[in-house]
Structure 1
């Protein structure tokens, strides 16, 4: 009996010792030997893709490991999220995607899973606001003039959004309600086609992301009236915020984040968050973001980001529900 107990104790001790010796090797394999794969929820060349490649280059040096960018566009980002869900949850696969993945997409596309439960934001990489722009033919120098013009032409003025059910759609609905005006919404599949029709005079107004509208603003092809940021954008210092102009309900921030599945080990989450924030805070990165029409992300905690996503989801849902909007 005693002999059996001693053999079992020795076997247990040896197993524990071997496990401890193997642990560093296992950690090294998941943290440095394997490539870090960055899945992107948009096509190559999109803003999130550009930010992902900036991040990947920095992480490769910061973590001293191979980093591969893998675009998985389609289905409103669901393909990229599904890829992340199917990959081992060890921190070797991450997702770069906009906050719209959780706050907007579930209202627009019928999904087979709950975005907010399947992915978790661990770092905010970059942010930008939306800007209300108009065709130069609109006789308006400011937002008050736009509202007066729309009131004088009820039902004859149209505004574009980069997607039905998106924040750019919702902001128009909020302005319609707050200002008591009548405008027609025209939804597009992306900013580019909406801007083309705006510049061509087929629609008079548009709510668009600052990064995509900025080149058109600088070229004088569209006129900016207000931005959705809490403060004026350094890129458009002469353009007031909606809040300044008496429309605080139109305050909104779009941001691109680094996401993981929630069950990735806490140590891996913390390491990736720390490295990503460090990379994106470098002066060269900040300058590149400004050239893209974006600001560096804020160092909010994952819990703070998750809370803001929940609030945005509810806000957008309430507005869309008021017009009986249904997902595709």
Structure 2
């Protein structure tokens, strides 16, 4: 499992520090913890939440109840977190794109850069360009040639308008001179079902939801939309390697809290979650679920990447005039 190490040095240091101050760290709470998830059961973030919650409950000696609050692009879950008392008993497991994408196309009652506070990153989720088994191509160059040979006939799916799945297809259209039509779905599962059936031939999807279908030969993988190749698909080159460096969409998955939660309490939550995430059982389960190495970002670095992605996505939405009903 060497390909999936959650920054061993940082985790070891955190675990050692936690061991020295165990009573203080575990004093984070003597009550059950709510872990909100802005997605339905079985989705990518829900998988991470349940893996971590099991270990966290054992570590802190209190129930950690995963509470799914899907809808409104994650806004329902965020607002529930902000409405809860800032006492550390309500935390949220999320992917950073929930905070950096939907707010640009949907009016929300919160500011993702001001009202929430990153606590700790657990893993990274990477996107991959996938296609129906019937697409007559083996790489991005082949896909581009096929789309150009069929003007006006090829579409691409996304798991929702205004998400990186949508952005990536629009950017490929622009950079490669294509005319693919966007077909949005309400999540990855229904989009992937149409992809497998060939009704929509192409899509940019999260590795965690596409991995098993790729391995089973139900869909094809053409390129990884991340800075480096994924350990899950070591033989699939990145989009940058294939001439499209702008197609870089990966994000951290981790814990956030309301910005009103006191810093000392945030540190205790950070220490406890880091300890749970360092568990070999947690690492192995996350690897099996399709996530990449991560967890080495500090809270400050998470906040910086959040701002950078937010600003980049704002520019993408403006450039392509993306609206929610597209």
TM class by shorter-chain length?
A: 0.7 to 0.9
Pick from 306, 315, 319 the counterpart of residue 322 of structure 1.
319
Counterparts of 2:65 and 2:92, CA distance in 1: 12
RMSD value over aligned CA atoms?
Answer: 1.8
Residue equivalent to 1:255 = 252
**Count of matched residue pairs:** 302
Map 1:196-235; keep pairs closer than 5 Å: 196-235=193-232
| 8 Å Cα contact 1:30-1:91 kept in structure 2 | no
SS at match of 2:114: helix
Counterparts of 2:170 and 2:209, CA distance in 1: 21
1:59 equivalent in alignment to 2:51 = no
Counterparts of 1:87 and 1:40, CA distance in 2: 14
1:140 equivalent in alignment to 2:137 = yes
- TM-score, normalising length from structure 2? 0.88
Deviations 1:91-144 (A, max 9, x none): 121111111221111023211221222111111122121111111222111111
Map 1:18-97; keep pairs closer than 5 Å: 31-97=28-94
| 8 Å Cα contact 2:25-2:271 kept in structure 1 | no
Deviations 1:267-287 (A, max 9, x none): 111111122122112221111
Residue equivalent to 2:305 = 308
| 8 Å Cα contact 1:228-1:252 kept in structure 2 | yes
Q: Relative to 1, partners in 2 of residues 1:224 and 1:193: Cα closer, same or farther, differing over 3 Å? A: same
Map 1:163-312; keep pairs closer than 5 Å: 163-312=160-309
Counterparts of 1:128 and 1:256, CA distance in 2: 7
Give the unaligned 5+ runs of structure 1.
1-26
| 8 Å Cα contact 1:277-1:299 kept in structure 2 | no
Counterparts of 1:70 and 1:222, CA distance in 2: 32
> Which has the greater radius of gyration?
1
| 8 Å Cα contact 1:30-1:90 kept in structure 2 | no
Deviations 1:246-289 (A, max 9, x none): 21110121332100111211111111112212211222111101
1 or 2 for the larger relative contact order (CA 8 Å, sep ≥6)? 2
Residue equivalent to 2:8 = none
1:116 equivalent in alignment to 2:117 = no
Per-residue deviation, 1:327:
3.9
- TM-score, normalising length from structure 1? 0.87
Per-residue deviation, 1:88:
1.0
Give the unaligned 5+ runs of structure 2.
1-23
Per-residue deviation, 1:28:
10
